[in-house]
Structure 1
């Protein structure tokens, strides 16, 4: 969809994004730059991720702007419902969107789960490419949003197109490396996050879910990855102690 006015459409910024993408060393860098660009160009968006679905239907997240995106993908895969799954199953220039995840009847389990992580709105668009091997979606999440403007849809479509073209040009080995790298990162991050959760549970007397919610909330507030926050907490267990 085209934006309603030229003023709403960041043409110069998108041109610069295209220039930077052409300089990317590999497809993983292209995908990360696409997600970073979406986060920078769309006001009010808090989390951006790029989700891919492999031949067995499993999701992985090779590019993201906040660690909570991996939690959202894992939640959708576990519940077998959610906007990323829906978007990855369709083709063409279309959208799966909501501004009330907690009350959206399409995802009765995922919606409240996402809202519990502090996100109330989503805009997902499929990666337009040939064949199921490139099935995926570019996903924009927001904590507070009343609507998704036409200009936002236009920017999202262009960026999703860049990501799809990058994927279409990769060899099978490169695509496998994306999954492998993401899996290794997820395992490493999960280990240190588990350690940090244990520290918070012991020091604050809270449950595992409460400990993760605290880590996720602090990660977003400080704009740092949850894995980095968890490592800092492991080094300094008193870092998140409440003020006396």
Structure 2
């Protein structure tokens, strides 16, 4: 039987500690250059794992009414966060919900969060550190560090705290950008739907010799009778009459001045 996968202990454990800090400028450049929120969070975990060695890192966020792991460094053993979510207890769960740092220097001696400590040790984890991420708009989370040796974070907790504070600001900005992007996409979708509906109204007005309000009323009644969304009904009508799918609105890209 294969032995459990282990998180590498790292060759820095017994070496002199070097002062490390997250390059804030590089972090915000990563935010600007990343392909959306997920790409940025992945970059964040990789950088965090390098700053707080030995071990690996993940990011927990509370979104859509549940905790979930949104990114993890490349060497992290899969499922460590999920063990805690399923049991509804564990360092990352407590750190996120209570907005308080959680340190488990030796999971073999840990009395909290059962059954997570034993299950984590079976996967090669001996110590863990979870720090809260202070975010906005009801979103909260945690920056989680796992190591394959005991007491791995004794002299790195202050670095980890500074990193979590820096990461909180960057993640809050990333979430705001994502929220604004989603609002823009919703607006665009609404305008495209309006364009298709307007085209269908024009067709009905021409066919029935009626005004726009009456044409819209006819389309709505048919939508209800056929149990089809109004936009889909209008799209079918425009395609049938025009012989091609409806035009997709009038969005024009602005060129730099």
- TM above 0.5, yes or no, is yes
Contact 1:44/1:145 (<8 A) preserved: no
Return the match for 1:137 from 114, 133, 142: 142
Give yes or no for the alignment of 1:110 onto 2:116: yes
Contact 1:50/1:63 (<8 A) preserved: yes
Contact 2:77/2:123 (<8 A) preserved: no
Q: Any idea what SS the aligned residue of 2:98 has?
A: coil
How far off its partner does 1:99 sit? 1.0
Question: Runs (4+) of structure 1 moved beyond 6 Å?
Answer: none
Give yes or no for the alignment of 1:101 onto 2:107: yes
How far off its partner does 1:163 sit? 1.9
- The whole-number CA distance in structure 1 between the counterparts of 2:166 and 2:176 is 15
Q: Which has the higher contact order (CA 8 A, sep 6+)?
A: 1
Long gaps (5+) in structure 1: 1-6, 176-244
How far off its partner does 1:54 sit? 2.9
- The whole-number CA distance in structure 2 between the counterparts of 1:173 and 1:19 is 19
Return the match for 1:48 from 38, 57, 62: 57
How far off its partner does 1:87 sit? 1.3
Mapping of residues 1-244 of structure 1, within 5 Å: 8-10=19-21, 13-45=23-55, 47-56=56-65, 58-66=66-74, 68=76, 70-91=78-99, 94-132=100-138, 134-146=139-151, 147-149=154-156, 150-171=158-179
Contact 1:34/1:162 (<8 A) preserved: no
Higher helix share: 1
What is the TM-score normalised by the length of structure 2?
Answer: 0.56
Distance 1:167 1:101, change over 3 A: farther
How far off its partner does 1:115 sit? 1.2
Long gaps (5+) in structure 2: 1-17, 184-257
What is the TM-score normalised by the length of structure 1?
Answer: 0.59
Contact 1:87/1:125 (<8 A) preserved: yes
How far off its partner does 1:27 sit? 1.1
- The whole-number CA distance in structure 2 between the counterparts of 1:36 and 1:68 is 10
Contact 1:126/1:136 (<8 A) preserved: yes
- The whole-number CA distance in structure 1 between the counterparts of 2:113 and 2:176 is 30
- The whole-number CA distance in structure 1 between the counterparts of 2:44 and 2:165 is 11
